[in-house]
Amino acid sequence: MRRFLQVFCAVFSGLLLALAIPNELYKLGSPLIGLFSLAPLYLAVVRSKSYNEAFFVCALQALACHLASSFWLAFFHGYALFTLGASALGTAGYHGLFGWLYLQGHRERINTLFCAMMKDREDMGNFTEEA
């Protein structure tokens, strides 16, 4: 049950973050959704029992967010696997490292607000480059 809740929190957080950035529903994005979109992710990471679980949770969240926000990449017929698949896996691996670092910081009592601001800054920088 704990594993199911972690997966649910990661996917839910990824979908909320995809809604928070500029998309077809919200042309300018939704700051209110963005404000709460990372909370389920942080709860899932803090409740992880190992660094591998934290890596998996953050990688899954990034994968869900990337696939939901960049679904249009699948329409490049000859290059769909490369454009969407490779970029999704690269993003998931990169954000998985953040989960590992965040859990280490949480266990060592490093300021979690600082980690959250760095994650949010990194995400918004990636999405503003696409616009």
* Neighbouring residues of 130: CB distance < 8 A, sequence distance ≥ 6: 70
Q: What is the mean pLDDT of residues 102-131?
A: 61
Query: Encoding tokens for residue 21?
Result: 């950035």
pLDDT in tens, 5-50: 999 999 999 999 999 988 778 888 888 898 899 899 989 988 888 8
- Convert 28-66 to b/e letters by CB count within 10 Å (16 or more is b): ebbeebbeebbebbbebbeebeeeebbbbbbbbbbbbbb
- 78 vs 117 pLDDT, higher one: 78
Q: Which one, of 122, 115, 92, 120, lies nearest residue 31 by Cα?
A: 120
Please name the residue that has the structure tokens 């803090």: 46
- Convert 85-108 to b/e letters by CB count within 10 Å (16 or more is b): eeebeebbeebbebbbbbbeebee
pTM of the model: 0.75
**What's the pLDDT at 131?**
47
- 112 vs 45 pLDDT, higher one: 45
- The CB density around residue 18, as the number of other CB atoms within 10 Å, is 20
